[in-house]
Amino acid sequence: MATEKKNTTAEKPQPAGMENLKPLKLTIAGKERVFDIDNPKLPDWIDKHSMTSGNYAYEKKLPGEEYIKTIEALQVELVKLQYWMQKSGQRVVVLFEGRDAAGKGGTIAAVHQYMNPRTARNVALTKPTETERGQWYYQRYVAHFPSAGEFVTFDRSWYNRAGVEKVMGFCTPYQYEKFLAETPGFEQQISNEGIHFFKIWLNIGQEMQLERFHDRRHSPLKNWKFSPIDVAGIKLWDDYTKARDIMMERTHSLASPWTIVRSNDKRRARIAVIRHLLSAMSYEGRNDAVIGTQDANIIGSGPDFLIAGEKGPATVK
């Protein structure tokens, strides 16, 4: 059964320019669809297929009780990690990238929930100022890099240039190509500096993205998250896919590999991300039994894992 929303968009304030949206004509899995995001009823073709979209391996979310037990134990390990970082002066940078509504914000929140905010912070930059546009492209991000003992996450990063800027025409072809050519060297410098550097791509299926957009549109608490850029992006799924694949191919390396986390189920994605961060660092008091083993259906490395997961046969569980 499709989920019936109690409120309509007319009953709650919407961001400027988002008051009345026209139905969108989309091609989903080879079929022509019409998506009326202002209709409070989620279409059956989304509701029935959102969880397994993008060849996702599970039909249902991880049970809540299992999720809470697992995530809290992992968060204890994150606190241990932070104590070790403060004692040893180690530095961590974690980039979170992915399509809109892939679950970046919630995953970052789960990582930071019990860490000391004095030395663990998240960076989510707005569009560049006039001054920043005249600087070295990476400069405004480097300004937020960690000092000794600090743990820093980025909710989007310099990879905006390879994604939204490329697809929406916010950068020139020269700027785009220059970014792809220079980024591997820039990231090699980060590793050479001794910073523990992670790049996380949260991968989401198309129907799941539409479901989350619909949820945002009809939520008085979350409708600020749904923007004109999101509306434009709905119709540009294939363009974003092409840009993502080129980015992965050009910037995945031994020094700075991409870790792919399939995030249709936010619970499994958050667990996988935290396990990945913890297992990569030999901190004092690390409990490998608590960290556990990764689910190969959810997490892997690089473009081969990404593309194989979307195109290969899924064993739905």
For the chain, the DSSP string reads -PPBPSS-GGGS---TT-SS---EEEEETTEEEEE-TTSSBPPHHHHTTTTTGGG-S-SSPPPHHHHHHHHHHHHHHHHHHHHHHHHHT--EEEEEEESTTSSHHHHHHHHHTTS-TTTEEEE---SPPHHHHTS-TTHHHHTT---TT-EEEEES-GGGGGTHHHHHT-S-HHHHHHHHHHHHHHHHHHHHTT-EEEEEEEE--HHHHHHHHHHHHT-TTTGGG--HHHHHHHTTHHHHHHHHHHHHHHH--SSSPEEEEE-SSHHHHHHHHHHHHHHTS--TT--HHHH----TTTEEEHHHHHHHHHHSPP---
Residue 308 pLDDT level (bands cut at 50, 70, 90): confident
Q: Where is average pLDDT lowest: 11-15, 16-20, 115-119, 248-252? A: 11-15
Q: Give this prediction's pTM.
A: 0.93
Q: Mean pLDDT throughout 263-291?
A: 98
Tokens of 268: 């499994």
Q: Look at residue 188 in the predicted model and tell me its pLDDT.
A: 97
Q: Look at residue 7 in the predicted model and tell me its pLDDT.
A: 44
Residue 217 pLDDT level (bands cut at 50, 70, 90): very high
Residue 240 pLDDT level (bands cut at 50, 70, 90): very high
Q: Where is average pLDDT lowest: 2-16, 156-170, 177-191, 296-310? A: 2-16
Considering only CA atoms, give the Rg of the chain: 20
Q: Mean pLDDT throughout 29-49?
A: 95
d(CA 69, CA 64): 9
Q: Look at residue 284 in the predicted model and tell me its pLDDT.
A: 97
Does the pLDDT value for residue 61 go beyond 90? Answer: yes
pLDDT tens for residues 155-202? 999 999 999 999 999 999 999 999 999 999 999 999 999 999 999 999
Does the pLDDT value for residue 51 go beyond 90? Answer: yes
Does the pLDDT value for residue 95 go beyond 60? Answer: yes
Does the pLDDT value for residue 6 go beyond 60? Answer: no
d(CA 120, CA 153): 8
Sequence-distant (6+) residues with CB within 8 A of 227 are 15, 18
Q: Look at residue 317 in the predicted model and tell me its pLDDT.
A: 64
How confident is the prediction for the chain on average, in pLDDT?
Answer: 93
d(CA 167, CA 242): 9
Sequence-distant (6+) residues with CB within 8 A of 295 are 268, 272
d(CA 266, CA 101): 10
Domains of the chain plus CATH, in order, are 23-311 (3.40.50.300)
Does the pLDDT value for residue 312 go beyond 70? Answer: no
Using the structure block, give the residue that is written with the tokens 């008051």.
19
Residue 5 pLDDT level (bands cut at 50, 70, 90): very low
* Distance from the Cα of residue 6 to its chain's centroid: 29
d(CA 94, CA 78): 14
d(CA 14, CA 219): 10
Residue 258 pLDDT level (bands cut at 50, 70, 90): very high
Residue 310 pLDDT level (bands cut at 50, 70, 90): confident
d(CA 154, CA 105): 10
